[in-house]
């Protein structure tokens, strides 16, 4: 099933290549969407794709890149936007 997820990742997640790494992971899994840094220090990701691939991406979000220290991950389902690629904003 094709789904859209809104993900907010908290912890030491800015300045540690989280957005770049999330794009690499999304590209590897053929997922689309975007990642951006938020003023509160979190990273916000909207991502779409097949449910099993999204599950793999979510597992990755709980770890992140090597320098990240993920404290929590909040996930909500959203309306499919039909993104054409995965972008860093």
Is 83 exposed, middle or buried, given 0-12, 13-18 or 19+ CB atoms closer than 10 A?
middle
Sole residue written with tokens 């990755």: 60
> Could you give the number of structural domains in the chain?
1
Contacts of 10 (CB under 8 A, 6+ apart): 41, 42, 70, 71, 72, 73, 74
Q: Which domain holds residue 54?
A: 2-88
pLDDT per residue rounded down to tens, the chain (89 residues): 999 999 999 999 999 999 999 999 999 999 999 999 999 999 999 999 999 999 999 999 999 999 999 999 999 999 999 999 999 99
Whole-structure pTM over 0.85, yes or no?
yes
Predicted pLDDT at 29? 98
Q: Answer yes or no: are the C-beta atoms of 28 and 56 closer than 8 Å.
A: no
Sole residue written with tokens 């990642």: 35
Active site residues: 19, 37
Question: Domain holding 37: CATH number?
Answer: 3.30.70.100
């Amino acid at each position: 099933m094709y789904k859209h997820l809104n993900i907010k990742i908290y912890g030491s997640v800015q300045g540690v290549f989280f957005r770049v790494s999330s794009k690499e992971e999304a590209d590897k899994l053929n997922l689309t969407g975007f990642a951006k840094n938020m003023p509160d220090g979190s990273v916000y990701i909207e991502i779409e794709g097949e449910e099993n691939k999204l599950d793999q991406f979510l597992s990755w979000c709980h770890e992140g890149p090597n320098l990240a220290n993920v404290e929590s991950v909040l996930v909500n389902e959203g309306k499919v936007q039909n993104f054409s690629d995965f972008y860093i904003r």
